[in-house]
Structure 1
Amino acid sequence: MAIKKFCVSFFLLVLVVALTGCSTNQGTNDSSSSMSHDMNRDHDQHAMSDRDVPQGLVATMNPEFKKGSKVTLKTDHMSGMMNAKGTVAGVYTTNVYTVTYHPTNGGKVVRNHKWVIQQELQTHNKGLLKTGTKVKLNASHMPGMMGAEATIDSAKQTNIYMVNYTDTKTGKVIKNHKWVTEDELISR
């Protein structure tokens, strides 16, 4: 009797394993993949941002690093960014801000987010805004950013770069990352 119970249990176990191996998640939005995506949120979600250059942004004529220049990133806005090898995809002169904002999707407050440019703010003021100014974001670098209420933490007029780079941790090529400043790049 014990052998019969063992055989039935073993058969059921083999059946469960076989059926599990045959299942697929095609066409579904599996919560476990969503969860692991959230755990790598800063890089993966930032990389999925809107790739278009904001309207009204004009290319800089004589930047330190021209479009197509080979560079090394000297910043850590995102995981895998520090010392990453990259190429300049575009360079523009504009007002550049770090901001603290409350995501519209209910996430935690994001402090000192680098960088948001003048053309990504919902404001009629075209001049350099002061630290402490309240603004509404018109950028989709990260989920919950579009339409979020924000406070300007720092402001400056400078050249701002869009770059393609290879993530130092994953080896993944990140295209059209927005934004890095000139002082966050070195030639290679």
Structure 2
Amino acid sequence: MKGRLKRHGIITAGALALFLAGCQAGEKTEDRGAAGDTDNATTEQSRQEDSSAENGGMDHMMHGGTGEVPEGLKEAGSPAYPVGTKVMMHADHMPGMDGVEATVSGAYETTVYSVSYTPTDGSEPVKDHKWVIHEELENPGDAPLKPGATAVLKADHMPGMEGAEATIDSAQQTTVYMVDFVPEDSDQEVKNHKWVTEDELSAE
């Protein structure tokens, strides 16, 4: 009888030891999984930040707007693409923009600039941002400003843009358009995107 009880005790103790070992292994596996998830998230965040820097910060661009235009901006008299026209876009200011259909929601005559600046929110410097129009600069004087000139931005196309000092990279007098479109990488419509130049559009 004592022998059977002793053997039973040994078997029970052995089973308990196996159970505890299994729990510890499971906990270690879960810990490794959690650590892996954290590593993957960190890697993905780094990849997105690197991509944003390479694209001049365009991933942070505010996709839509209210449709309000700066004071003094004149509507185009006879634009190539009147309001309501369906067009194809050939611009990559934002992800999912190039090669998609858009509807013109506004057409204006002005001077447009590509600019470089350091955002006021501490973000990485933005190079060759397209586009800012003359009416979105603080007290710019007569248009056009020459490349290399500096001006303070009133535009808020991107976080940290308004109030930043910018350097003019290029300037051209042309018709600019506001457009509505659905990005290639999304199913949500972008309303009143500012700005697209006439040579970045074509008829369908």
Class of the TM-score when normalised by the shorter of the 2 chains: 0.7 to 0.9
Secondary structure of the 1:77 match is coil
**What is aligned with 1:60?**
76
Root-mean-square deviation (Å): 2.9
What amino acid is the match of 2:141?
Answer: N
For residues 64-104 of structure 1, give each alpha carbon's deviation from its aligned partner in whole angstroms, at most 9, with x where no partner exists.
Answer: 00000000101111111110111001000011100011111
Structure 1 position 185 matched with structure 2 position 180: no
What is the Cα deviation at residue 5 of structure 1?
4.9
Choose from 104, 115, 118 the match for 1:99.
115
For 1:151, the equivalent position in structure 2 comes to 167
Structure 1 residues 156 and 91: alpha-carbon distance in aligned structure 2, compared to 1, 3 A threshold: same
Write out aligned runs for 1:1-188 (5 A).
Answer: 1-2=16-17, 5=20, 42-43=58-59, 45-48=61-64, 51-188=67-204
Q: Structure 1-normalised TM-score?
A: 0.78
Say which SS state the counterpart of residue 46 (structure 1) adopts: coil
SS in 2 for 1:47: coil
Question: What secondary structure sits across from 1:160 in the alignment?
Answer: strand
Q: Is the CA contact (8 Å cut-off) linking 2:111 and 2:171 kept in structure 1?
A: yes
Give the aligned residue type for 1:116.
V
Q: If you compute each CA radius of gyration, which structure gives the higher value, 1 or 2?
A: 2
Q: Is the 8 A contact 2:117 2:165 kept in 1?
A: yes
- 3-state DSSP of counterpart to 1:142: coil
> Secondary structure of the equivalent of 1:172?
coil
**Larger helix proportion of the pair:** 2
Q: CA shift at 1:51, angstroms? A: 4.3
Conserved 8 A contact 1:49-1:140: no
- Give the counterpart letter for 2:154 in structure 1: N
Which digits, 9 at most, give the CA deviation of each residue in 1:32-89, with x for residues without a partner? 9xx7997777346421556421121121110000000000101111111110111001
Identity of aligned residues (%): 42
Given that residues 87 and 103 in structure 2 are in contact (C-alpha distance below 8 angstroms), is that contact kept between their aligned partners in structure 1? yes
Aligned residue pair count: 172
Amino acid at match of 2:156: S
